[in-house]
Amino acid sequence: MSWKKQSILSASQFSKEDLLDIIALSEKLEKALETKRNLKLLDDYILATLFFEPSTRTRLSFEAAMHRLGGRVISAVGMQFSSLAKGETLFDTLKMVESYSDICAIRHSVEGASALAAQSIKIPVMNAGDGAGEHPTQGLLDLYTIFKRGFLTKKPLRIAFVGDIRYGRTIHSLVQLLAHFGAAMVFVAPDELQLPEKYQKFLDNSKISYLKTSSIDAIKEVDVGYITRIQEERFIDHREYEKFKDAYIVDHALIEKCQPHIAIMHPLPRLSEVSTDLDNHPSAAYFEEAHNGLYVRMALILGLLGINY
């Protein structure tokens, strides 16, 4: 079964063929936007964005993607202003979303919330982040960025994930996508923030070689450094967060010791873990990564609605 006309809940649902198809479609849409501002493909469609947790890039790029396709957007953010604040259940809220829109993107603090949503309503649901679970559409735009930097066909592509690997949902998704391309992975984190067992088992079963370390020196050997924020909102004990919040800093001095072609990625928002002194360096890929989200999300919306392009 192809990725089209489904919900997007986890990176695990994609085959390698699906991923290559999504990359090709994203590229085609990126090209089309060079000469047009509105592709006018979705005049009769409405996207609902439902964000129960903070977001800037994800929500705006979903909404911009829908607008560039010629569709319309309805948005529920700041849930303190919605009926949920009056005690309405998530299920009842979703039934409304289903009756007002054709496709929706949901971000929620509870792992599995998007999967529950997809079971409750008939329109396609896109998981825009479910707690410390996954963030598959971010994983796909990360994959597209790696492709555009020319690393996806490298044998093997070497990538270091740095920071909060335990709670970093974008990492959980990207790891599963990169497994299709035989990437060699290094996980750089304090022991307490290392890769959850579930994903280690997945890598073992997929015969992917990986290494766990707490030393940032591992970044010197790789093609891609994928840096993440320590996810303050997921810590039960705030002292733990304080202990780790400045664990790693990637700056110009460190990059000088890395491979000359290295790409530094970050799903953003960044705090101090990627120094602003890198922003104009050729290795800095994080703003182009955010930009790529537009094309990939356009591709996903089209595919899920079953519109061929």
* 170 lines the binding site for ligand NCD (CB under 6 A): yes
| Nearest-approach distance from CB 59 to ligand NCD, in angstroms | 9
Q: Which one of 268, 296, 298, 299 is in contact with ligand NCD (CB under 6 A)?
A: 268
DSSP SS3 for 54: coil
Do the strands 103-108 and 72-76 form a parallel or antiparallel pair, or are they unpaired? unpaired
The Cα–Cα gap between 140 and 65 comes to 15
CA angle 262, 267, 272 (to 5 degrees): 80
Measure CA 49 to chain center: 16
Q: Which one of 68, 158, 229, 297 is in contact with ligand NCD (CB under 6 A)?
A: 229
| Nearest-approach distance from CB 19 to ligand NCD, in angstroms | 19
* 68 lines the binding site for ligand NCD (CB under 6 A): no
* 173 lines the binding site for ligand NCD (CB under 6 A): no
CA angle 174, 257, 232 (to 5 degrees): 45
The Cα–Cα gap between 269 and 233 comes to 13
Q: Which one of 11, 18, 19, 57 is in contact with ligand NCD (CB under 6 A)?
A: 57
Q: What are the strands of the beta sheet with 103-108, ordered from one edge?
A: 72-76, 46-51, 103-108, 125-130
| Nearest-approach distance from CB 57 to ligand NCD, in angstroms | 5
- 29 burial type by CB count under 10 A (0-12 exposed, 13-18 middle, 19+ buried): buried
C-beta closer to ligand NCD: residue 220 or 234: 234
C-beta closer to ligand NCD: residue 145 or 170: 170
The Cα–Cα gap between 31 and 27 comes to 6
Q: What are the strands of the beta sheet with 158-162, ordered from one edge?
A: 210-213, 184-188, 158-162, 224-227, 263-265
The Cα–Cα gap between 160 and 152 comes to 14
* 267 lines the binding site for ligand NCD (CB under 6 A): yes
* 58 lines the binding site for ligand NCD (CB under 6 A): yes
C-beta closer to ligand NCD: residue 45 or 226: 226
C-beta closer to ligand NCD: residue 93 or 228: 228
* 108 lines the binding site for ligand NCD (CB under 6 A): no
* 166 lines the binding site for ligand NCD (CB under 6 A): no
Per CB under 6 A, contacts with ligand NCD among 9-38 are none
C-beta closer to ligand NCD: residue 124 or 267: 267
* 129 lines the binding site for ligand NCD (CB under 6 A): yes
Q: Which one of 4, 68, 108, 135 is in contact with ligand NCD (CB under 6 A)?
A: 135
CA angle 94, 99, 101 (to 5 degrees): 90
Question: What number of chain residues touch ligand NCD (CB under 6 A)?
Answer: 11
Interaction site with ligand NCD (CB under 6 A): 57-58, 129, 135, 138, 169-170, 228-229, 267-268
